[in-house]
Every structure is written in structure tokens, then in C-alpha cells.
Amino acid sequence: MTAKANRRYEQRMRQIGRMLADRRSYEKCLCIGTEEFIYIPCFISSCMGENIKFVSSARSPIILNDEEEYAVFDALTYKRPEDKSVINYLYNIGKGIYDEIFWFFERRPGKEFELAMLKAFVQRGIKKVHFVICDGENSEENE
């Protein structure tokens, strides 16, 4: 990629970030990258305004501990949409911490997955979830 192409790419990501910022409904907002798909979601998230936290899902389990000085206190597990034999983890999305989530994917994960995750997020007090698909041609968002 040339420097000029990279500048255009970053400009497009900033534009997407501003568009998603306009769709935010709540202050306590979490943006999620998926496994190694981190750079694009993190960059876009940085353009979405204040009070944005960013995490990525992981394939590695971490021991949980609710002691105050321990960093990981909550885990949500799910089966990877592309390969249901692979378990993924989302950490520290405890009840009441966030009101809104923007979850970025390279490809659409599928309605069954989206519905299952919506149910899990609602149980954690999340009021609104956006599945943002970044397929290289168009970025789209499903709520």
C-alpha cells in the first residue's frame, strides 16, 4: 500500500467513525474488535467521540478473579461463527458497565449468532448493540 492510499484509507475510517458516532445513543459505549481484527475497529472507534472503550475478543481463556486489584473479573464465552469448534472470550463486560456496544466483524457472523449475542448482552444490561461489518468494500451496520 502506498502512503497516498494509506491516507485515503485512514480518511475513510475517520468518516466511518463519525458516522457511527452519530448513531450512538448512550455515553457508556464499548467497541469490540474480533480476534486479530483489531486495527481497523480500534482506529474507527478512536473517531467515535468521548467515553469509548475498546476491547477485542480472544481465543485464550484467562482466570477470573473479582478481587479489586485483579484486571479480569468477567468473561462471556461464545462459539466462533466461522468455526463453532473454536471458543472465543469477551472479558470485563459485566452487568451495568456499558449501555451500548459496537462490535466490528470482517464478515457477517449470521443471524443466529447475532441473536444469541444480543440475548447475552441484554442479560448484562446492554441497551443497544450494533454489529458493524467491515468487508473491504462497504462497511455496514446492523442493529
Residue 139 has pLDDT above 50, yes or no: no
pLDDT digits (tens, 9 = 90+) for 5-51: 889 999 999 999 999 999 999 999 999 999 999 999 999 999 999 99
pLDDT digits (tens, 9 = 90+) for 54-91: 999 999 999 999 888 899 999 999 999 989 999 999 99
Strand order in the sheet with 128-134: 52-56, 29-33, 100-105, 128-134, 139-142
Asked if 95 contacts 126 with a C-beta cutoff of 8 angstroms, the reply is no
The percentage of residues in the chain with a pLDDT greater than 70, rounded to a whole number, is 94
At residue 107 the predicted structure's pLDDT band, cuts being 50, 70 and 90, is: very high
pTM: 0.90
Annotate 44-76 with b (16+ C-beta within 10 A) or e (fewer): bbebbeeebebbbbeeeeeeeeeeeeeeeeebb
Q: Which amino acid is at 37?
A: F
Rounded alpha-carbon distances, angstroms, from residue 18 to 8, 23, 137: 15, 9, 18
